[in-house]
């Protein structure tokens, strides 16, 4: 394997694992803490922490998708039919598609949540923190399930059952 491909593979695995880890922290640490804070503290916490969390997820998901695409194209060579005719290809195609859709969903939701937070800065009377908390109780849970399925598919593609 070429040395540059080893670097791409490591970047892919580390970005994907970091993305999954971030979603685990959101689900099992940050959201439960938010639920126990009063409204004012919740708003300050959301304002201080979540823009950074969103940016990190943007970087990690994009890096995972781009490096995954490079690896998939490199390992399939000129034979794109491998993605529909082999168990390896179907697992890669399904996991990659799910990852791409999750990343696209992330960018849409990030944009909406950032607008919601920005509007709160202009109108402090509105409780954006409660809206954000409601969304954060649902969306990251779904994201965690999707990422775990993707990890399962990729592990199957890499090593089989």
Kindly report, residue by residue over 6-44, the tens digit of the pLDDT: 999 999 999 999 999 999 999 999 999 998 998 888 888
pTM of the model: 0.89
For residue 100, the model assigns a pLDDT of 98
* DSSP-assigned letters across all residues of 89-128: HHHHHHHHHHHHHHHHHHHHHHHHHHHHHHHHHH-TTS-H
pLDDT cut 90: percent of the chain above it: 66
For residue 133, the model assigns a pLDDT of 77
Average pLDDT, the chain: 90
Domain count, the chain: 1
For residue 161, the model assigns a pLDDT of 64
118-125 own/partner pairs: CB under 8 Å, 24+ apart: 120/43, 120/47, 121/47
Q: Taking the CB of residue 89, how many other CB atoms lie within 10 A of it? A: 19
For residue 125, the model assigns a pLDDT of 55
Q: Say whether 2 sits in a helix, a strand or coil.
A: coil
Higher-confidence residue: 21 or 132? 21
Kindly report, residue by residue over 110-129, the tens digit of the pLDDT: 888 777 777 766 766 556 66
Q: Taking the CB of residue 5, how many other CB atoms lie within 10 A of it? A: 13
Q: Which of 67, 87, 56 is nearest to 9 (CA)?
A: 67
For residue 111, the model assigns a pLDDT of 82
Its domain, for residue 113, covers 3-159
Mean pLDDT of 66-76: 95
Structure token pair of residue 81: 């039919």
């Amino acid at each position: 394997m070429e040395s540059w491909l080893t670097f791409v593979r490591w970047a892919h695995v580390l970005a994907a694992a970091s993305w999954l880890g971030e979603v685990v922290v959101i689900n099992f640490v940050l959201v439960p803490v938010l639920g126990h804070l009063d409204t004012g503290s919740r708003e300050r916490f959301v304002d201080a922490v979540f823009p950074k969390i969103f940016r990190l997820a943007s970087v990690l998901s994009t890096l995972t998708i781009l490096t995954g695409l490079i690896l998939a194209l490199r390992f399939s060579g000129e034979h794109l039919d491998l993605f529909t005719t082999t168990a390896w290809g179907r697992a890669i195609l399904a996991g990659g598609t799910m990852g791409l859709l999750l990343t696209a969903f992330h960018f849409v939701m990030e944009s909406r949540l950032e607008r919601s937070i920005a509007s709160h800065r202009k109108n402090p009377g509105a409780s954006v923190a409660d809206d954000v908390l409601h969304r954060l109780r649902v969306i990251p849970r779904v994201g965690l399930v999707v990422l775990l399925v993707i990890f399962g598919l990729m592990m199957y593609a890499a090593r089989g059952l």
